[in-house]
Amino acid sequence: MSDPVIVALDYPDASQALALADRVTPELCRMKVGKELFTRAGPGLVEALQERGFDVFLDLKYHDIPNTVAGAVRAAADLGVWMVNVHAGGGQRMMEAARNAVEASANRPLLIAVTVLTSMSDEDLAGMGYRETAHQRVMRLASLTQDCGLDGVVSSAQEAAELRAAHGEDFCLVTPGIRFAGDAAGDQRRVVTPRNAMDAGSTYLVMGRSITGAEDPLAALKRVHAELA
């Protein structure tokens, strides 16, 4: 697995993202590039991070018809990203098309699926017409994801222990919403600390403001590793 920490570069432009990257080290983390930053900065930002030695998780959560998603993940693989994701809600044919696309690539990234966004509560799902709780929906979509041959899922650490027991040690569990004890939860609803997440079975920890908002981001990363040790 190597380093479990993924820093979420939730910035509006490349200059701020690269300024943060220049204050930390690829020996202590990977980088996540999401929708706003990629839309503004494009593939050049991913390449600039890779030139600095960082593995990149391209977090664009593809959700479209199978052929379109297959083309998108193929393009991500050609860009050399370490990890890319889709929405499990896109269904079996979409996820299998994405899997086939990355498996045919010379630079195969990890392919994971989003189950339920960590910002969503049971009430949010009910408002959308779902009868399942967030927990039930995560479990069902994780099973579908594994059946489709993907590498793992994005989910809350609150489901990690059950997911790990159900899907084995090789199934990647990527956990956003990680905060240091005492940090503000922000817009996340299901939040845990790095140590608790790893103890629950998470494979990779996505941390944003606890690192990017720190006065000394490198010291904050070292704190994560000290906590995990």
Residues in the annotated binding site for substrate: 10, 32, 59-68, 118, 179, 188, 208-209
Long-range contacts of residues 157-163, Cβ cutoff 8 Å, at least 24 apart: 157/190, 157/192, 157/196, 157/197, 157/200, 157/202, 158/190, 158/192, 158/200, 159/135, 160/197, 160/200, 160/201, 160/202, 161/200, 161/201, 163/138, 163/139, 163/201
Of 3, 13, 35, 64, catalytic: 64
Write the CA distances from 38 to 34, 124, 208, integer angstroms.
6, 27, 16
In whole angstroms, give the CA distance from residue 28 to residue 210. Answer: 15
Task: Please confirm, yes or no, whether 61 is among the known catalytic residues.
Answer: yes
Helix (H) or strand (E) holding 165: helix 160-167
> Could you tell me which of 48, 100, 103, 35 has the C-alpha nearest to residue 79?
48
Scored b (16 or more CB within 10 A) or e, 84-120 reads bbbbbbbeeebbbbbbebbeeeeeebbbbbbbbbbeb
Task: Please confirm, yes or no, whether 35 is among the known catalytic residues.
Answer: no
Helix (H) or strand (E) holding 218: helix 217-228
Of 3, 13, 59, 151, catalytic: 59
No. of helices (H) and no. of strands (E), the chain? 11, 8
Task: Please confirm, yes or no, whether 59 is among the known catalytic residues.
Answer: yes
Extract the annotated binding site: 10, 32, 59-68, 118, 179, 188, 208-209
Of 61, 122, 124, 183, catalytic: 61
User: Which residues are catalytic, by number?
Assistant: 59, 61, 64
